[in-house]
Amino acid sequence: QSVLTQPPSASGTPGQRVTISCSGSSSSIGANHVNWYQQLPGTAPKLLIYGDDQRPSGVPDRFSGSKSGSSASLAISGLQSEDEADYYCAAWDDSLNGAVFGGGTQLTVL
């Protein structure tokens, strides 16, 4: 069971906007920045969003992140077929003195 809670699956049609939630605690998301990773099938994870809402260079602005209290969200607008992947949230947890990941959300583009 993961320390951060994500829905196991999400879906949308091309062009739609989807959001993926990530729920944590006061010692994890409530105290530290949230980062999001995209993992395409058979590949290593890729940093998608850092510092709650910042995009690394090269990441399309269709991807956005937000945080409120002990929860965070990843939004993908203008959904494309190539967005079909697993998405993970992550944060440092001060109580555990370690990083924690969400269980991952498998995004399907219908």
Partner 1 sequence: EVQLLESGGDLVQPGGSLRLSCVASGFTFAAYAMAWVRQPPGKGLEWVSAIDAPNDLTYYADSVKGRFTISRDNSENTLSLQMSSLKAEDTAVYYCAKTTTLSGRSSRSDCWGQGTLVTVSS
Tell me how far, at minimum, the Cβ of 102 lies from partner 1, in Å.
8
Of all residues in the chain, what percent are helix, strand and coil, respectively (each to 5)? 5, 50, 45
Cα(77)–Cα(5) distance, rounded to whole angstroms? 22
Tell me how far, at minimum, the Cβ of 15 lies from partner 1, in Å.
28
Nearest-Å Rg of the Cα atoms of the chain is: 13
Tell me how far, at minimum, the Cβ of 13 lies from partner 1, in Å.
26
* Nearest residue (CB) to partner 1, 31 versus 75: 31
Binding site for partner 1 (CB under 8 A): 2, 32-35, 37, 39, 44-47, 50-51, 56, 86, 88, 90-92, 96-104
* Nearest residue (CB) to partner 1, 47 versus 110: 47
CB neighbourhood size of 70 (10 A): 17
